[in-house]
Amino acid sequence: MKVELEADKCVASGQCVVAAMDVFDQDDEGIAILLEETPAPELLDDVREAVAVCPAAAIRLVER
Amino acid sequence: MADTLAGPVPEVPDSVPEFPMPRSGRCPFDPPPGLKDLQEETPLTKVRLWDGSEPWLVTRYAEQRAILGDSRVSADTDKPGYPTKASPAGGEGKLSFIMMDDPEHARLRRMVTAPFAIKRVEALRPAVQRIVDDLIDDMLAGPQPVDLVEAFALPIPSLVICELLGVPYDDHAFFQDNTKTMVHRDATPEQRGRASREVAMYLAGVIGQRLAEPKDDLLSSIAGRIEAGEIDHQQATEMALLLLIAGHETTANMIALGTLALLRNPGQLALLRETDDPRLVSSAVEELLRYLHITHLGRRRAVTEDIEIAGQVIKAGEGVIMVNEIGNRDPGVFPDPDRLDITRDARRHVAFGFGNHQCLGQPLARMELQVVYGTLYRRIPTLKLAGALEDVRFKEDAFIYGVHELPVAW
């Protein structure tokens, strides 16, 4: 599974970091950064949570 | 029967409900029962506001998120159809980016997001812990009963925002006095206005000082944007005032109302008080945010292009109100929604809204509440309401729900 992040849509809520801190971080302005495009399977539930809570719908989890 | 026929024609009963609706006297933590009824009947319905306008009320979780995330709605109060709140001042004030749309909203908002990044907020946790512990020390050393609102709930966000903005500690009394007036039940609109202007002038002054001598705080970074020609002094002052106001009564009301809700749910309070697990404290914060949803009266938008939602077309020029308080009680998302359960996974609540305007301060609010709920009941394990629940007065008609006072003893 691949994680796609559209940083242009990001409103810096930080909720992806809270949900999946091994997969997302924030830059100096608080805009999301994708740390791991193909996270390990045990992290996928966290990523799904991040997808669900992102207020900007900026994160997608897709089949590779 | 004959005299009825001879009398005036009776009015056709109104099928458009009025909004807002009254809460029931039974449970002060539940949204108005009228909202629950509407949610069960239909995802979308027209309601009538104070000015006779008839926007759409959106009652279910999925549709609320869909609309708040849609670019065809506007947060600009001047757009046709925007559902305004009644207020003595004549509707909500347009303060900085909160009632703007993208791209200007995004441009301004990004100037102040840095200090709310998760890592930056975490770095403030020890300072917040100290503020909370000092206030508890003062309460414990003082007389009982004490008003938790005045002695604890209001000063905490006031002091925390001072830290964040970079307001000198020496000025915190002036700051707290004025911000207290801005939210005080007995303050007249004139007094509120004056307090607001005093704080605005003060913030403008500090921003001016930071232009000359920058420090490592938010007012300095805002001043830096003036230097860079990205905003003017007025816009900078409005942004600072917005951050102050937005994070003030909200957090204070969550502290007091949350305490009352826990006192009324002693099993939940015991779980929280006795845990060593910070994840349970976190979970309790999310559940209380969901359950209490203090920013009642709905997230409001004007529709700028036709939107199809739940089989209905909402037309451009109409208004929509997302009553997130009942979305947070949507049984399709939160089973047994009217039960306070700090062990449930409430992370997907919409207490901070949704979409591009979702609360900017939410990481700070969460951290403050984690510290408060994780500390107050451990340090004062015998905390109790002083007096009867029936005597507690709730802010039914205010923009932000909560209690006016909370007399407590231990």
**pLDDT (tens digit, 9 = 90+) per residue, B100-158?**
999 999 999 999 999 999 999 999 999 999 999 999 999 999 999 999 999 999 999 99
A51: chain B residues, CB-CB within 8 Å: none
Nearest to A12 among B113, B347, B354 (CB): B113
What is the percent of chain B with per-residue pLDDT over 70, rounded to a whole number?
94
Are residues B362 and A52, on separate chains, in Cβ contact within 8 Å?
no
Instruction: List, for residues B157-216, the tens digit of each pLDDT value.
Output: 999 998 899 988 788 888 878 887 887 767 788 888 899 899 999 999 999 999 999 999
User: Which has the minimum average pLDDT: A27-41, B85-99, B231-245?
Assistant: B85-99
Nearest to B117 among A14, A52, A56 (CB): A14
Confidence of residue B93 (pLDDT cuts 50, 70, 90): low
Domain segments of chain A: what residues? 2-62
CA atoms within 13 A of residue B88's CA, in its CB half-sphere: 9
Nearest to B120 by CA among B91, B82, B80, B163: B163
Number of domains making up chain B: 1
CB pairs under 8 A between A and B: 59
Question: Which residue of chain B has the CA closest to A8?
Answer: B106
Instruction: List, for residues B275-328, the tens digit of each pLDDT value.
Output: 999 999 999 999 999 999 999 889 999 999 999 999 999 999 999 999 999 999
Domain A2-62 has CATH 3.40.50.2300: no
Residues of chain A with pLDDT under 70: none
Confidence of residue B3 (pLDDT cuts 50, 70, 90): very low
ipTM above 0.90, yes or no: yes
The domain of B360 spans: 2-409
Confidence of residue B246 (pLDDT cuts 50, 70, 90): confident
Nearest to A13 among B106, B348, B358 (CB): B358
Question: Which residue of chain B has the CA closest to A17?
Answer: B118
Residues whose CB is less than 8 angstroms from the CB of residue B167 and which lie 6 or more positions away in sequence, other chains included: B161, B175, B206, B219
Mutate to test the interface with B, among A22, A29, A51 (most CBs of B within 10 A): A29
Instruction: List, for residues B39-88, the tens digit of each pLDDT value.
Output: 999 999 999 998 999 999 999 999 999 999 999 999 999 999 999 876 65
In the sheet where B73-74 sits, what is the strand order?
B44-46, B56-58, B319-322, B299-303, B73-74
Mutate to test the interface with B, among A26, A45, A46 (most CBs of B within 10 A): A26
We report the CATH number of the domain holding residue B164 as 1.10.630.10
Are residues A56 and B69, on separate chains, in Cβ contact within 8 Å?
yes
A14: chain B residues, CB-CB within 8 Å: 116-118, 121, 362-363
Question: Quick one: pLDDT at residue B4?
Answer: 46
Question: Quick one: pLDDT at residue B215?
Answer: 94
